[in-house]
Structure formats: C-alpha cells, structure tokens
Structure 1
Amino acid sequence: MSTVLLVFLVYLVGMVVVGIITARLASKSLDDFILGGRKMWTPVIALSEKGTDMSAWLLIGLPGQAFKMGIGALWAGIGVWLGSFFNWLVIATPLRQLSGKFNALTVPDYFESRFDDTSHLLRIAASILIVFFFTLYVSAQVVGAGKILAATFGIHHVVGMAIGLSIILFYTMAGGFIAESWTDFFQGLIMAGALVLMCIVGVAALGGIGPAFAKIRAVDPNAVLMSAGKTGTALYLGLIIGSLAIGFGYAGQPHIV
C-alpha cells in the first residue's frame, strides 16, 4: 500500500469518526443539528467557512486560472478576500443577532421572520433558489473531488465522486452542522498547509523567487504581470473589475453567511 493511499484512508476514517462522535451532540435538538446550538468554537467556524467557500475552486479553479494567465489571477484572490472581509464586517454580526432573535434556523426562515411575511412567499422563493443553484454548486464540488481522486489514484472520476459524496453524506447526516464544521476545520488546515508547502517546494525547486520569476517570464512574459498582458485601460480595468466582482457574491451565499 502506497503512503499516499494510506494517508487518504486515514483521512477518510477520520471524517467518519468525526461524524460518529458529533452525532450524539447533534441529536439533542434541531437547533443543534442545523446550527450547532449557535455555540460553536470561533476558530472552527472561521476555518470551516473558508474551507467551505474555497473548496475545489481554490485547489483546482484558481490554480488553473493562474496557469493560464499568470499572477494576474491574484486579482481574483483579492476579490475573494474583499468579499470575505465584507461578510465578516457588515453581515456576520447583525445576521447572528437577528437570526437568534427570530430563532431562525435557515436563511429562508430568517427572511420570513425578518420581513414578517405571512404569505410564506419569501420562504418559498428563497428555498427554490437555494435548491436550484446549490444543486449546481455542490455538483461542481463533487466533480472536483472526483477529478482529484482520479488524478491521485488513477481511478475513474465517477468512482472518485461516489467515494467523496458517500463520506460527505455520512458525516453530514450523522452529525449535522457540528460534523460539517469540524470536518471543514480539519480540511481547511490540510488545504492551507498543502498550499503553503507547495509554494515553498515549488519556489525552492526553481532556485528561489527571483529565478522562478525569470523562468516563468522566459516561457510567457505576460505571466509575471498583474495586467496579464491586457493592453489598454479598458481591458485592464475589465480584468480588475471582473476578477474583484467574484467577491460580490459572498454576501448572498447561504452556505457562507
């Protein structure tokens, strides 16, 4: 058995164990299952939130964009950071206070109570939108998991998707939000560690930051420019605004807020 496979199996077992342990905590009430009793440890919630919103986009999407256009992809990273900062600064505290006041467990619950909608139209509309768009969103994450497992272990990506989805469904159904938060916490640590380590190893392999930029410039001079080779004010502004706009959606994503 290879070391990579062994580590992966240990990781899967760890996720299952988290689901089993948290199942007892999440079974006390619906509030515990859906929101962790509104008393989760702050570092867990913080890293869980980032692990949730980054996920396959950070490990597959953004590296692919960087490979295609170079450091100009940093504009997207800046946009994500601004969106996250806006959420924590403007939305997080009021939403936490008001959702607690209304005893709202979900975003549709909150809308209905916040605007005193006795017709239930807000709840229905919000629920339909969430189910529709999150079916597409979650599907993309499952596909991402399948592709990573396929590339790592040489299995068919559909098999990888089935493995990833099965584990996620198990610990989520067993431990609810508590299990989801703790697994995301550990996954976030792994993601952050892997990304930092890859940067260090990659730069070291190329001889340092200076030589790394020189070698990249030799392949594509535009790859070391924040403009990504876009000439003219309109194109450059389009790149910046389009990339920064990625962060605008953070305020309306239920799995983040």
Structure 2
Amino acid sequence: MNREIVILITFVLYLAMMLGIGAFFYRKTHNLSDYVLGGRQLGKWVVSMSAQASDMSGWLLMGLPGAAYLTGLSGSIWMAIGLAIGTYLNWRIVAKRLRVATEKLDDSITISSYLENRFEDTSKILRVASSLFILIFFLIYTASAFVASGKLFGTVFGIDYKVAVIIGVIVVVSYTFMGGFMAVCWTDLIQGILMFATLVILPSIVIFSVGGIGTIVNTIEPVLLNPFLMEALVPTGAPQNTLMMIVGILSSLAWGLGYFGQPHILTRFMAIKDPEEITRSRRIATGWVIISLIMATIVGLIGHVAFTGLSQVESENIFILLVGKYSPLILSGILLSAILAAIMSTADSQLLVTASAVSEDFYRGIIRPTAKDKELVWVGRITVMAVALIAGYIALNPNSSVLGLVSWAWAGFGASFGPVILISLFWKRMTKQGAIAGMIVGGLVALIWPMLKATFPGIWIFYIYEILPGFIFACLCCYVVSKVSVKESAKIEAKMNQLNL
C-alpha cells in the first residue's frame, strides 16, 4: 500500500478519536466552569500529562530537534536544562498554592479573575490588562502550532503549505469548540503518551538501522557535541566573544522562567481535584519532560547520519524526514501522528484559555455582567473560532519559524504573568498597583526588546533573550510600586492569612 495512504488512514483514525472525545464531553459541558476548568475534577495523571503536553507543543518534535541538528548540544542542551528546572519548580512552588488560592478566592476560574479577586480590584484594570496580554501572546503562540501543522502536512503529503495550515485550523477548532476543557485535557493525556512513546521509538529505530551507536558517534561531527560552541551560543550578528557566549547560555537557561506565567499550564494546576495529589503529578510531569527533552535532542543529533546541509527552515522537518527514511510502513503514520498530537495539545489549550479570557473576563466582567452560563459557553466557543482564524492567517507565511514564534510568546507570558503570580502567592503585602505595574512593564519589555535589538545591533545587552529583562523589570516594579503605593486593606491581608498557603 502507498506510504501516503497508510499515513493518511492513521491520521484520519487518530483525528476521529479526538473528535469523538470532544463529542463525548459536549454532552457533559453545562456551565462556564465545566467549559474552561472542567469543574476542578481532574486526576493526577490527566493533570500532569495535560500540563506538559500542552506545554511542549510542536516545537518539541520540530523546533528543538531542528536546533540540535543545526548547532548540536550547544544549541539545545542549555534550553533543555532551563526547561527541566522550570518545570520542577513550577510544580513545586506554584501548583498547590495556586490551586488552593483560586478556589478559596471566590472560586476564580481564570488567571484574570484570580488576580482581580486577590487584590479586590474594582477598577477592572488587572482583568483587562491580563486579558489583553493573553490575546496578544496566544495569537502568536497558536500561530506557531499552525505553522508546525502546515509543515507536517506539506512535507508528508506534498500539499500546498497554506492548504495544510487551513486543515490544521479546522481540526483543532472542531473538538475544542465542542468539548471544552475536559475534552482538551483527555485528548492531551493521549497525546502526551503518544509524544513520549514516539520520542523513544524513533531514535531507537534509526540507531538500529544504521548499525548502532558507534556509527552514530563516528558520523556526527565532534564539534556538535561541544556544549560550549561559541558559534552556536553567540546570537546572530553579535560579536564572537566570551561575554556574548555567556549571554547565549543565560538566555537559553532563562526559558525556565517562562513556566511561572504560562496560563495554559497554570490552569491545569487550578483544575486538579485534590491538591494533595500535586506531589505525584509533579513527579510524573518532571520525568516526562526530562526524558522527552533528552530524546528530542538526540533526534536532532542523529539526523546528521541521514541528512546533511539542511537549512534553518528545513531543519525543523528532521523528525519527519527520519520517519520517512527509517520507519517501517506500519509505524510511519503512528510516529507522525505524534507531531500532530504535539501541535493539537498546545493549540487547543491556548484557544481555550483565550476563550475563557474573552467570555469570563471581557464579556461577563465588563460588557454583560448578568450573562448566564449557557450564553458564556457560546461566547467562548465563538472566541475559539475567531482566534483560530486570526492565528491561522498569521501562520500562512511559509518562512515562519516554529521555535521563533514560540520563543516570543513564551517570553511574553513569562514576563507579564510570571512575577505577578509568584509574588502574589508568596507576599501578602503586594498591592494592586504593584501587580498592575509588574504585569504591564513585563509584557511591554518582552514585546519591545526584540525591536530594540534590531534597532541597536551593536549593543550587547539587547541580545539577551527578552524573558530575562522582562522578568527582572516586572519583579522590580511589583516590589517597588507595592512599597510606595497605598497599603492594601486589612481585609485583604486577613483574607490571605486565612488561605494557609
């Protein structure tokens, strides 16, 4: 049977299963809390796998292997270390506190409503600012998923890139529109297992096919195994010196800071049924992430055995190319479905968080406070369609980089939400003014920093990954403005004391 036909059949069966899950949970979605948070009824396995599957997205099987292929360990290992540490710390210090706080503070079902309730912000500034940043950065983030889907369908089936992007949009919107949060989380569980299994199976197949690890080691250029390769660590256009190499390493490690501010991950913490299960969820999630990052890096490195001279855009297809060359026919469709799983598991989560921001924070919070749950669910569904269409339009550029789009959105969320969430959970005297200042400054720094690098190419500090300056400035603003602004009421401080965080 033709290889493309086998892969197509596998894709269709896989997508049918995802749509079936969406249809199943369509019947069980009765109110907005069900649609955007699953009624806080998720178990440890679903929460942990859903959080990490939605976290990693298509960049785990395309962006990271592509970086490892182009620049070896130096281009991937520092980022992987930062992400592994960030995953562990996020589960360790944020998850349980956020789960308890969001439920006790007027049963907050979105990040925006948590911040508003935490600081008793009647001005709606926090709600509006956080919702706007969610819209801006998730448009960029979701676009990266559709870019990955376009490359997947285009490379495998040889169809036009723009048509492939449209197919990806239709698929993701369909089951997110129907089933909401529960559908997203249960599909994420399946997708996370598939992604993990694929990252273990594919390198094993390639290594066996080429004659063992010895052949791999002899084929890969030794320079690619050097984690301190200056040409890879120094940003493009920057001077080749030790200072810039340190900037490159710090920028890669700084990816770990992003976890504290990712709404699609934080909502998983808020949805777990029993806060006491978070410890077990942390172990599952951290193990999944560490092994997956290692194997994704290996995929990029062993790609040199079969393919040489790939461009930056082509390198992000190395996983697909290896499957095409080495995978048995019966496994090809399953292995490539893992990329589809990675794409869908992130895009659906991002669309859902955006829908919750619009329906709960904009529509009910500002436009129509008396809106009923059924009405809000449909506002959320319409938002899913609208945001997906805009993100799909952004993704139509075939030269877009999956990793490039992800890095910008990741920094935006990490800088705008991360410091505010962290400090609000640990410092009872943080004020509303401090939270507003920290969020706005962090988000704006993340947006503007890349433009400053382009405008002032000779200044070394602008080559630092934007999440680091954004996070630092946001923390400073949260602290300084809270110190000089009007002290929060005794009522708020007493309320925080009662949470026993």
TM-score by length of 2: 0.49
- The amino acid of 1:199's aligned partner reads P
Offset of residue 156 of structure 1: 1.5
Higher relative contact order (CA 8 A, sep 6+): 1
SS in 2 for 1:256: helix
The aligned runs of 1:114-193 (5 Å cut-off) are 114-193=118-197
Q: Does 1:241 align with 2:250?
A: yes
Q: What CA deviation, in whole Å up to 9, does each residue of 1:9-62 have, x standing for no partner?
A: 10111111010011122x222211110110112211111111111111111110
Q: Does 1:21 align with 2:24?
A: yes
- The amino acid of 1:240's aligned partner reads I
TM-align CA RMSD: 1.6
SS in 2 for 1:99: helix
SS in 2 for 1:174: helix
Offset of residue 229 of structure 1: 4.8
Offset of residue 74 of structure 1: 1.6
- The amino acid of 2:178's aligned partner reads A
Offset of residue 159 of structure 1: 1.8
SS in 2 for 1:245: helix
Deviates more, 1:198-207 or 1:164-173: 198-207
SS in 2 for 1:118: coil
Q: Quick one: which of 55, 61, 64 aligns to 2:63? A: 61
CA distance in 2, matches of 1:110, 1:11: 36
Checking the alignment, whether the CA contact within 8 Å between 1:75 and 1:240 is kept in structure 2 is yes
Offset of residue 84 of structure 1: 0.9
Offset of residue 133 of structure 1: 1.0
Q: What CA deviation, in whole Å up to 9, does each residue of 1:78-128 have, x standing for no partner?
A: 111111111101111111111111211111111100111111100000001
- The amino acid of 1:62's aligned partner reads L
Q: Flag structure 2 segments of 5+ consecutive residues without an equivalent.
A: 232-239, 267-501
Corresponding residue number in structure 1 for 2:425: none
The aligned runs of 1:97-112 (5 Å cut-off) are 97-102=100-105, 103-112=107-116
Q: Does 1:226 align with 2:235?
A: no
SS in 2 for 1:119: coil
Deviates more, 1:29-38 or 1:157-166: 157-166
Offset of residue 233 of structure 1: 4.7
Checking the alignment, whether the CA contact within 8 Å between 1:213 and 1:224 is kept in structure 2 is no
- The amino acid of 1:250's aligned partner reads Y
CA distance in 1, matches of 2:258, 2:158: 35
- The amino acid of 1:168's aligned partner reads V
Larger Rg: 2
Q: What CA deviation, in whole Å up to 9, does each residue of 1:137-156 have, x standing for no partner?
A: 11111111111111111111
- The amino acid of 1:74's aligned partner reads I
Q: Does 1:211 align with 2:220?
A: no
* Residue 226 to residue 210, structure 1, CA distance change in 2 (3 Å): farther
- The amino acid of 1:156's aligned partner reads D
Offset of residue 207 of structure 1: 2.6
Q: What stretches of structure 1 move > 6 A for 4+ residues in a row?
A: none
CA distance in 1, matches of 2:78, 2:218: 21
* Residue 46 to residue 98, structure 1, CA distance change in 2 (3 Å): same
CA distance in 1, matches of 2:163, 2:108: 38
CA distance in 2, matches of 1:109, 1:42: 24
- The amino acid of 2:92's aligned partner reads L
Offset of residue 232 of structure 1: 6.5
CA distance in 2, matches of 1:18, 1:157: 28
CA distance in 1, matches of 2:160, 2:194: 24
SS in 2 for 1:59: coil
Q: What CA deviation, in whole Å up to 9, does each residue of 1:141-199 have, x standing for no partner?
A: 11111111111111112222222211211111111100111111111111111111111
Q: Does 1:37 align with 2:73?
A: no
Corresponding residue number in structure 2 for 1:252: 261
CA distance in 1, matches of 2:56, 2:132: 24
SS in 2 for 1:40: coil
CA distance in 1, matches of 2:87, 2:180: 24
Q: How much identity, in percent, do the aligned residues show?
A: 38
CA distance in 2, matches of 1:246, 1:77: 9
Offset of residue 251 of structure 1: 0.7
Corresponding residue number in structure 2 for 1:47: 49
Q: Quick one: which of 83, 96, 103 aligns to 1:93? A: 96
SS in 2 for 1:247: helix
TM-score by length of 1: 0.93
